[in-house]
């Protein structure tokens, strides 16, 4: 097939929240966002918005915790688009919320599968295409939870901390071959996940008024800039939406 001329970005969890906002921000930069989601039908509203921007918008079924599903989704992306330049690992789960000794172990292990194994599967599936074309971008959605524990979030904090090291590992092992990797903390954003956090009543984050949460479009704009510009000086770093210098660079 004839390759798509513009860059192509594989975005997990792109049906709503930050993932949807990132997909739209990428499209505004002329990048083709591939909406990778467990239920493709749920991505229909976002796909329509992307198409309204005049950008093609493939949707692929992807269960990030299942390696064959991830590899199939990446293969479909390459078949449809002819290339792959960016992966955005956005899909994540905050559950289980509760004290470590109280939550079911199966839920804790599920968090590892989604929040850590999922990004690993996506990166591993994309690497052959990246290396064949001389480079690519890995953007992992991180969290302040990667740096400090929160009561009731042992699984989420642990997996986000591990994801930060996965980002650094990718940069260390493949940076010389053109692969740039970034961890980006979007801050406290008004999403369904924050709604579940408020309902839990655990730790101070659950008590942050909804009016004080960021709209998804704010961090999405910076994330899209990182994925597109791929600044060499920021690879292998934990970046935050609260970094004013970063926000200024993304606004130029």
The residue annotated as part of the active site, out of 120, 156, 174, 182, is: 156
Structure tokens at 171: 């940069």
Q: Examine residue 37 and say whether the peptide bond preceding it is cis (omega within 30 degrees of 0).
A: no
Active site residue 156: yes
Catalytic residues, by residue number, are: 156
């Amino acid at each position: 097939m004839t390759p798509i001329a513009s860059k192509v970005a594989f975005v997990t969890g792109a049906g709503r929240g930050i993932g949807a906002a990132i997909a739209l921000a990428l499209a505004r930069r002329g990048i083709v966002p591939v909406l990778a989601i467990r239920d493709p039908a749920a991505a229909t509203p976002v796909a329509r918005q992307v198409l309204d921007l005049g950008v093609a918008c493939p949707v692929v079924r992807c269960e990030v915790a299942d390696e064959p599903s991830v590899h199939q989704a990446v293969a479909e992306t390459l078949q449809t688009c002819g290339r792959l330049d960016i992966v955005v690992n956005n899909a994540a789960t905050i559950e289980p919320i509760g004290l470590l000794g109280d939550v079911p172990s199966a839920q804790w292990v599920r968090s590892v599968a989604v929040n850590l194994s999922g990004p690993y599967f996506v990166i591993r599936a994309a690497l052959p295409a990246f290396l064949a074309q001389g480079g690519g971008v890995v953007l992992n959605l991180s969290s302040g939870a990667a740096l400090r524990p929160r009561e009731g979030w042992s699984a989420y904090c642990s997996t986000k901390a591990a994801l930060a090291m996965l980002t650094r590992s990718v940069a260390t092992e493949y940076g010389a071959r053109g692969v740039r990797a970034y961890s980006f903390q979007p801050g406290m954003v008004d999403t369904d996940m924050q709604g579940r956090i408020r309902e839990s009543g655990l730790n101070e984050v659950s008590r942050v008024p909804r009016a004080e949460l960021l709209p998804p479009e704010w961090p999405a704009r910076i994330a899209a800039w990182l994925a597109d510009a791929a600044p060499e000086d920021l690879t292998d770093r934990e970046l935050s939406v609260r970094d004013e210098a970063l926000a200024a660079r993304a606004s130029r």
